[in-house]
Amino acid sequence: MSSIEFIYFDLGNVILKFDHSTGFRNVEQLCGVSPKLVDDILFNQGLQQQYETGLIDCTQFHQEFCAQAGIDPSKELSRGDLLRAISDIFWANRPIFPVLTQLKARGFPMGVLSNTCDAHWQFVFSQHWVLQTFFDPLVLSYEEKSMKPDSKIYEAAIKRAGVEPGCIFFTDDRQENIDAAIKAGIDAVLFESVPQLVFDLQSRGVMINC
């Protein structure tokens, strides 16, 4: 008999794969800003973190990016084009879909616990039926104003799952996020592969066959 009553999945590199460098090249094609500069603005200068933490909205993100890139937001790069360019970087991690399907069939409630921004989430939610069908609640950093591994987002996830922390299973591809989840009392394991995830679930009495 499993003690697991709720399962949270990270989004990036667990449910979906992604490659930020694709977004950098997308932006370059739109306005000529080099991928290196796009990377620097988004990640080294912290703009993406502000966006994923909900400290700025889509309009502010667009305006700040254009200001740092030295381009005219009204002529060289529209908000919609920028948001699509940085978001069209995801593809399905298809080997995990049979796992999700079996868990759903067995009645396990599942949620998403992810660091993400408004643009990325809206893009992937519209593109991938699995996100629309299998998961509730959706605990997203830009909505919670907190990013993993900050404790606040785990507190929100526990509250929204509606069960004791020790009855929640969580998998994420980053060790620091797993460590913080364990500190919050959640049963968490690092995601390395789908077979490894199946083994970890089976060892907890969640009997699936993939």
Q: What is the 8-class DSSP label of residue 102?
A: H
The model's confidence at residue 209, banded by pLDDT at 50, 70 and 90, is confident
Of the candidates 23, 43, 11, 17, the residue with the CA atom closest to the CA atom of residue 140: 11
For residue 36, the model assigns a pLDDT of 98
Q: Which amino acid is at 21?
A: S
| 6-18+91-202 and 20-87: identical CATH topology | no
CATH number of the 20-87 domain: 1.10.150
The model's confidence at residue 207, banded by pLDDT at 50, 70 and 90, is confident
State pLDDT tens for residues 52-109: 999 999 999 999 999 999 999 989 999 999 999 999 999 999 999 999 999 999 999 9
Quote the mean pLDDT of the chain: 96
Phi (first) and psi of residue 189, to 5 degrees: -135, 150
**Quick check: bond before 73 cis, omega within 30?**
no
Q: What are the residue ranges spanned by the domains of the chain?
A: 6-18+91-202, 20-87
How far apart are the C-alpha atoms of 16 and 91, rounded to whole Å? Answer: 6
How far apart are the C-alpha atoms of 207 and 107, rounded to whole Å? Answer: 12
CATH C-level class of 6-18+91-202? alpha beta
Burial class of residue 131 (count of CB atoms within 10 Å of its CB; 0-12, 13-18, 19+): middle
Predicted TM-score (pTM) of this structure: 0.96
Alpha carbon of 127 to those of 41, 69, 87, 92, 165: distances in Å? 27, 29, 11, 10, 31
The model's confidence at residue 2, banded by pLDDT at 50, 70 and 90, is low
To the nearest whole percent, how much of the chain has pLDDT over 90?
96
Q: Are 7 and 103 in contact (CB under 8 A)?
A: yes
The model's confidence at residue 159, banded by pLDDT at 50, 70 and 90, is very high
How far apart are the C-alpha atoms of 130 and 112, rounded to whole Å? Answer: 11
